[in-house]
Chain A
Amino acid sequence: MELTSEEVKKVADLARLTLSEEEVEQYREQLSAVLDYVEQLNELALDGVTPTTHAVGQQNVLREDEARPSLGLEDVLYNAPAHTRRQFLIQAVLEDE
């Protein structure tokens, strides 16, 4: 599977990554090689096989919905690069008209 530069840029954008032109070409080559490798799976007859999402399939793990203490505000905000003591501070998400 040979990826194009456009596909690499599109995937990077979906993943919120910025790549230099040099990186685009490097990843294009490397990811194409990895995709070629994983396409070995197409040798297998997989129609009708049930997919496995977890090693030890546990289902519907439930607990009582009881209120429990959670982290205090100070602990939650401690690692934030910017905060107001009450909330995380980020740039405006909605632009002014």
Chain B
Amino acid sequence: MNVTELTLTELRRRLRQGSVTSVAATEAVLQRIIDLDNDLRAYLTVSDALALEMARDADERRALGEDGPLLGVPIAVKDIICTQGVETTAGSRILEGFIPPYDATVVARLRAAGAVIVGKTNTDEFAMGSSTENSGYVTTRNPWDHEHVPGGSSGGSAAAVAAGLAFGALGTDTGGSVRQPASFCGVVGMRPTYGRVSRWGVIAYASSLDQVGPFGRTVADCAAILQVIAGHDALDSTSIDAPVPDYEAALTGDISGLRIGVPQEYFAEGLDPQVDAAVGRAIEQLEAMGAQTVVISLPHTRYALPAYYLIAPAEASANLARYDGVRYGPRCEGSNVVDTVKQTRALFGAETKRRIMLGTYALSAGYYEAYYGQALKARTLIQNDFLQAFESVDVIAAPTCPTTAFRIGERTADPLSMYLADVLTVPVNLSAGCGLSLPCGFDDAGLPIGMQLIGNTLQEATVLNVAYAYERATGWNRKRPVETR
């Protein structure tokens, strides 16, 4: 058996046992990247020298009797998260060549936990997209079928984990960018509660919605990574100062008596019948394990996407004003200082420009109340839907996406059709809850289907345990994509 086929928690067990070294695991991953990633394109940068140095260091520490939560485990990091000394572009040409002078808090925590950083994964530019087709560099392919997208924006991280090019990965989820690619690539991905994980050093897209989350091949793998990255950070004033539970210990697999809400609005028109059926069977499985299911209503669900496409672009238009070619990134010299800023900003891709303009318009004098103001009020109604639902249920179960992975190129001409890929993930981002996607079957074409489990504020442990119980009973995660080159 190739070591890259191991789950993160199994690798960690073997590293502790001494039956495999971090150098061996890291070399195997790097070799697999050489073999597969020319076609897959999950990575923008492979930090092979750094990874081997970190692996040697991990093995030396282990030899001295040390241990760490992820000591010696190769992990991939989405290219929107700053890594000291390793190029970080956010998938944008406007940050080409940018070498961060500091680590994001999540990266510093990975390092402190002993993780080996394999490289930086592809993303839609500034995390704006649902397919990685908006990356300024390359489109990542879905490991299950190279003609299909891996989802996005964290498509590189999802594809890397699915294809065995890392044992786990970090992504960011502003409107579904962890859960949606996890669903498309047949892996587990979690968006924690806003504020559970620090945003320090994460290149900003929409600051009130952005959150870092883990990818793993199993629920336990995700729990192990979340354990390391969660917690208060004084450098992020929106970070929540609450104790971090033991997520791995919470995985008991016992869900008897748990109340699971099934929101009727998530099973509405536009849902692929095969996704509908697979998620329906998964919910029956949860019932069979002793959970109690209740049909609930989240009446404002259909307003989440329109509200998101005002709030996120509005915040993005402000956040992206900083890219002017003065302090970092390439500069395109113009006839005067304003012209230089404009010429430099021509490096933004089409979708980024679209969202900057949409946000600028929504915030402009005369339109602010009609658009942005309305969206913030709608957000309150969406948040209240969830608060009300969680008075009578512990977890909500629904599809992650209306469809399985679509074809490369299928939605690029029509921005609205691309936006609709996030219709079932965006509500969580507008709320104060957390969400996870895990595999619950395959469609006729062999593409993975994801089930979404949603929890109330800081209820990550409950969500992870429901996912764990389901995964253990069904084992969809054991099916891996066939290597295609």
A53–B190 CA distance with the chains assembled, in angstroms? 23
- B354 sits at the interface (CB 8 A): yes
Measured CA separation A83–B98 after assembly (Å): 15
- Flag A38-73 by CB within 8 Å of B: 1 or 0 each: 111110101001111111101001010000000100
Compute the total of residue contacts between A and B using a CB distance below 8 Å: 167
A23-B343 Cα distance, complex, nearest whole Å: 15
Please tell me if A6 contacts chain B, counting CB pairs below 8 Å.
Answer: no
A-chain residues with CB within 8 Å of residue B429 when the two chains form the complex: 55
Given known pairs A52-B383, A82-B331, A90-B340, the reply for A41 and B194 (CB within 8 Å) is no
| Contact B331 A33, beta carbon cutoff 8 Å | no
B208 contacts A50, CB within 8 Å?
Answer: no
**Whole-angstrom distance from the CB of B94 to the nearest CB of chain A?**
11
**Does the CB pair B380–A50 fall under 8 Å?**
yes
- Number of residues in A with C-beta < 8 Å to the partner? 50
Contact status of A17 and B373, CB under 8 A, knowing A33-B416, A61-B237: no
Grouping DSSP codes into helix (H, G, I), strand (E, B) and loop, the A interface class, with mixed when no group exceeds half, is loop
Q: Are B354 and A16 in contact (CB under 8 A)?
A: no
Query: Which B residues touch A82, using CB under 8 A?
Result: 331
List B contacts of A80 (CB < 8 A): 326-328
Contact A11 B361 (CB under 8 A): yes
Q: Which of B99, B193, B338, B357 contacts A12 (CB 8 A)?
A: B357
| A93–B324 alpha-carbon span in the complex (Å) | 14
A80-97 vs B, Cβ < 8 Å mask (1 yes, 0 no): 111000001011110100
Q: Is the CB of A15 within 8 A of B208?
A: no
**CB proximity of A15 to chain B, nearest CB, Å:** 4
Q: Is B357's CB under 8 angstroms from A50's CB? A: no
With both chains docked as a complex, state the minimum distance between the C-beta of B350 and any C-beta of chain A, in angstroms.
8
Among A19, A51, A53: residue with most chain B CB under 10 A: A51
A75 within 8 A of B: yes
Stretch at the interface among B20-28, B220-228, B305-313: B305-313
Whether, in the assembled complex, A30 has its beta carbon less than 8 Å from a beta carbon of chain B, the answer is yes
Which residues does chain A contribute within 8 Å of B237, judged by CB atoms? 58, 61
Name the one of B193, B324, B328, B380 contacting A49, with C-beta atoms under 8 angstroms.
Answer: B380
What CA separation (Å) do A8 and B360 show in the bound complex?
10
Closest chain B CB from A90 CB (angstroms):
6
Partner of B374, one of A18, A30, A46, A75: A46
In the complex, per-residue mask of B223-266: 1 if CB is within 8 Å of any chain A CB, else 0: 00000000000100110100000000000000000000000000
Select from chain A the residue with minimum beta-carbon distance to B211.
A55
Chain B residues in 8 Å Cβ range of A56: 193-195, 238, 240, 432, 457
Binary flags per residue of B91-103, CB closer than 8 Å to A gives 1, else 0 = 0000001110110
Select from chain A the residue with minimum beta-carbon distance to B315. A53
> Do the beta carbons of A79 and B338 come within 8 Å of each other?
no
Complex CA distance for A8 and B353, rounded to whole angstroms: 12
Contacts of A81 in B (CB 8 A): 325-326, 328-331
Chain A residues within an 8 Å CB radius of B416: 33-34, 37
A55 touches B357 (CB 8 A): no
Q: Is the CB of B381 within 8 A of A49?
A: yes
> How many whole Å from A70's CB to the nearest CB in chain B?
10
Q: Report the bound CA distance from A27 to B329 in whole Å.
A: 26
- Beyond known contacts A18-B346, A46-B378: 7 more, CB 8 A cutoff: A16-B324, A27-B353, A27-B354, A42-B374, A52-B383, A55-B193, A91-B333
Which residues from chain A sit less than 8 Å from chain B, CB to CB? Answer: 7-8, 11-12, 14-19, 23, 27, 30-31, 33-35, 37-42, 44, 46, 49-56, 58, 61, 63, 71, 75-76, 78-82, 88, 90-93, 95
**4 A-B pairs with least C-beta separation:** A51-B376, A79-B328, A81-B331, A75-B101
